[in-house]
Amino acid sequence: MKISPSILDADFKAVQQDLDSIATADRIHLDVMDGQYVPNLSFGPPVLKNLNYPVEYEVHLMAQNPDRFVDLFCDMGVSTFTFHIETVTEEKALELFNGLKERGVKAGICIDGATPVSALSDEVLDQADQVLVMSVQAGFGGQSFMPESINKIKTLRARGFKAEIEVDGGVNLDNVKLLAQAGADIVVVGSALMKQPTALRANLITQFQSS
Ligand code: DX5
Ligand code: ZN
């Protein structure tokens, strides 16, 4: 299993230390919230572009009208740009995918905790580089894992989706094996990693990676 730590709950007084402590992760997950699609605000490019990332970093955009933010995040150097299917039409999703790929950025589509896999059409699945399956309702770190997300992973694989499946929300060392068995490739881990002291994180990352 690959791991993408979320820095949503990082200590921003010493955020560079937090980033350095997760340098052995496969990538870093940036949770951007607009206070409209989700009832919470987090951070955006003015803050994020000044950090030094030890590995590649992806954005999980929880915002209405995601097209407003494509240029900002592509210019910032994200490896993957993931937006929510709940915020776009199918036509807009496909248009955004094309624009991202033209810029050399991987295109990800997210389904929120309450959204069924059927919200993703075959065309969207054909074109997506990654599906992000939320295993909580988007908006906050530290929520409990929704077990029904296991079936969403299985349904995606049963529909023939071959690209990367990432799972986000309430992931810990107790449920990561089930996610691997269901067909997930990468997990986002927030509180289960970032609430631990920096000195313990490299070892925890190894434990996720060997699950
Ligand atoms: C929730 C975010 C998640 C979250 C992960 O809206 O997308 O990335 O911060 O944190 P935990 O692992 O604590 O659920
Ligand atoms: Zn996220």
Q: What CATH number does residue 135 fall under? A: 3.20.20.70
167 Cβ closer than 6 Å to some ligand 1 atom: no
At 15 the pLDDT is 96
Atom of ligand 1 nearest to the CA of 38: 6
51 Cβ closer than 6 Å to some ligand 1 atom: no
| Closest CA relative to residue 145, chosen from 163, 171, 115, 119 | 171
Local confidence band at 200 (pLDDT 50, 70, 90 cut-offs): very high
Gap from CA of 92 to ligand 1 centroid (Å):
26
At 113 the pLDDT is 98
At 95 the pLDDT is 98
Structure tokens at 177: 């094996």
- Whether residue 31 lies in the annotated active site: yes
CA atoms 116, 170, 60, 137: torsion sign = positive
Atom of ligand 1 nearest to the CA of 40: 6
At 201 the pLDDT is 98
Residue 70 belongs to what domain range? 2-209
At 26 the pLDDT is 98
Tell me the C-alpha distance between 24 and 97, whole Å: 29
- Whether residue 18 lies in the annotated active site: no
Gap from CA of 133 to ligand 2 centroid (Å):
10
Cross-sheet strand order for the sheet of 186-189:
2-5, 186-189, 164-168, 130-134, 106-111, 80-84, 57-62, 28-33
Average pLDDT over every residue of 106-120: 98
Q: How far is CA 202 from CA 164, 174, 179, in A?
A: 24, 18, 21
At 57 the pLDDT is 98
170 Cβ closer than 6 Å to some ligand 1 atom: yes
At 141 the pLDDT is 96
Gap from CA of 5 to ligand 2 centroid (Å):
9
User: Count of domains in the chain?
Assistant: 1
Q: How far is CA 48 from CA 7, 10, 15, 35, 211, in A?
A: 10, 13, 10, 18, 30
